[in-house]
Amino acid sequence: MIKNKMIPRVLIVDVSDNFGGANARVLALMKMFPKDQIGLATLTGSKIALELEELGYKVHRLARSKFDPCIVFSMIRVIREFGYQIVDTQNPNSKLWGSFSAFIARVPLISTLNSWYMNEHPRFSKRWFLYTALELLTNFSLSRYIVVSRQIQSDMINIGVSPEKIDLIQNAVNLDNNTIYGEKKVLLTKFGWQPDSIVCLAAGRLVWAKAHDDLLEALALARESNPAICCIIAGEGTLYKTLEQKIKALNLQNYVVLPGHYSHTELLSVMKACDIYVMPSRTEGTPVALLEAAALGKPIVASRVGGIPQMVKDGEQALLFEKGNVIGLSENILHFARDLSKAQEFGKKAQMRVEAEFSLEVQASLTTDAYSRAVYPKRTLKT
């Protein structure tokens, strides 16, 4: 919990209807703030609202759909009624509605970027144009950016954003391994896999940026050498049916499962039970799921994108590969699968790194400073 700092009253805006790393980040960060100083504006079906309410945090359900323009009027009312001093948006739709609401309510706006949309979607695709335009055209009321990796910081500077308006704050986690239950035999029984199976886990939205299509091809290659390899790809998204079809085309339907959405607690349980955590993404910030896997001591195979090379050291704390390199991804999975006890040494080193350098206390303190710079721009913050 943040102490000895003057904290503005903050409204976090997260109108996403899926659960991903950005939602996990919001959940962890809000728990570090006093309950009377922060609130969440979200949708009726939010995946994190109930947990926050049970903990005593204020949750404002603005609408059922993220496309409902009435969100603006509901948010303005919430800002004024509860005395919020700053709005912090977490994704493009949140930024769209949050920018108008903050402008009309006359409070500062912060846009938190967990990824940069020009990298997250295929170049010149409809989503590439739409989300980039949404981000840039809604800067009329922007006070500051919070970015979660050096790569995103560099991307924003390259498109003309002043470095003085950008706060680099890496994601963080605080997990107690002893309080998380997870047994491999439960997964083996549930999915009908053999006792000697090697269970990989990938978790994230089923979208182009996460490169699950590359993972499926890599798994098919890896199984030619080691047929004990299986995989759980947890998450929801627009590519569910496409991935399902690819699993059948590669004859992986008995070895790769798409279980859909897991609650955060369920995901951590599955993560603890798996043998190898895999992140094949085409783009990332500082992914919370990777930090969680490291905190649980899991061997990690990941692409060399975004902030990942700064989070784990290749060849010592994880095995990294160039994005899109299916053969490299397959070889890294096989390397760990050949000797799980040696793989666990990688996991232990990654765990030590995360515990030492990715503290929620530091993240929350830096975030509070960013909020204060936006609300009190003429003050000099003590560091």
Which range among 137-141, 225-229, 290-294 shows the weakest confidence by mean pLDDT?
137-141
Could you give the CA distance from residue 246 to residue 323 in angstroms, rounded to a whole number?
19
Same domain, 90 and 137: yes
Same domain, 144 and 18: yes
Same domain, 87 and 136: yes
Same domain, 151 and 222: no
The answer to whether residue 117 sits within a structural domain is yes
The answer to whether residue 383 sits within a structural domain is no
Same domain, 185 and 324: yes
Task: Give the domain CATH number at 194.
Answer: 3.40.50.2000
Tokens of 171: 């994601």
Same domain, 88 and 220: no
Q: Is the pLDDT of residue 380 over 60?
A: no
The answer to whether residue 80 sits within a structural domain is yes
Could you give the CA distance from residue 298 to residue 301 in angstroms, rounded to a whole number?
10
- pLDDT reported for residue 165: 96
H or E segment and range at residue 217: helix 212-225
Same domain, 45 and 186: no
Number of domains in the chain: 2
Q: What is the pLDDT confidence band of residue 383, given thresholds at 50, 70 and 90?
A: very low
Same domain, 220 and 334: yes
The per-residue pLDDT for range 191-213, each reduced to its tens digit, is: 999 999 999 999 999 999 999 99
Q: DSSP letter at 112?
A: E
Q: Is the pLDDT of residue 264 over 80?
A: yes
The per-residue pLDDT for range 63-83, each reduced to its tens digit, is: 999 999 999 999 999 999 999
3-class SS at 186?
helix
- pLDDT reported for residue 313: 97
Could you give the CA distance from residue 150 to residue 147 in angstroms, rounded to a whole number?
8
Average pLDDT over residues 306-315: 95
- pLDDT reported for residue 3: 66
Tokens of 263: 């609650």
The answer to whether residue 3 sits within a structural domain is no
The per-residue pLDDT for range 322-349, each reduced to its tens digit, is: 999 999 999 999 999 999 999 999 999 9
* Rounded percentage of the chain residues whose pLDDT exceeds 90: 82
The per-residue pLDDT for range 140-157, each reduced to its tens digit, is: 989 999 999 998 999 999
Same domain, 19 and 61: yes
Residue among 374, 382, 358, 355 nearest 4 (CA): 382
The answer to whether residue 58 sits within a structural domain is yes
Same domain, 369 and 339: no
Instruction: Count Cβ neighbours within 10 Å for each residue of 171-208 and write b for 16 or more, e otherwise.
Output: bbbbbeeeebebebeebbeebebeeebbbbbbbbbbbb
- pLDDT reported for residue 119: 77
- pLDDT reported for residue 56: 97
The answer to whether residue 2 sits within a structural domain is no
Average pLDDT over residues 93-120: 92
- pLDDT reported for residue 177: 86
The per-residue pLDDT for range 154-172, each reduced to its tens digit, is: 999 999 999 999 999 999 9
Same domain, 112 and 223: no
The per-residue pLDDT for range 28-50, each reduced to its tens digit, is: 999 999 999 999 999 998 989 99
Same domain, 363 and 335: no
Average pLDDT over residues 121-146: 87
Q: What is the mean pLDDT of the chain?
A: 94
The answer to whether residue 382 sits within a structural domain is no
Range of the domain at 216: 177-357
- pLDDT reported for residue 273: 98
At what angle are helices 340-357 and 326-338 packed, to 10 degrees?
110
- pLDDT reported for residue 4: 60
Residue among 75, 1, 90 nearest 37 (CA): 1
Q: Is the pLDDT of residue 91 over 70?
A: yes
- DSSP letters of 68-109? -THHHHHHHHHHHHHT--EEEE-SHHHHHHHHHHHHHHT--E
The answer to whether residue 235 sits within a structural domain is yes
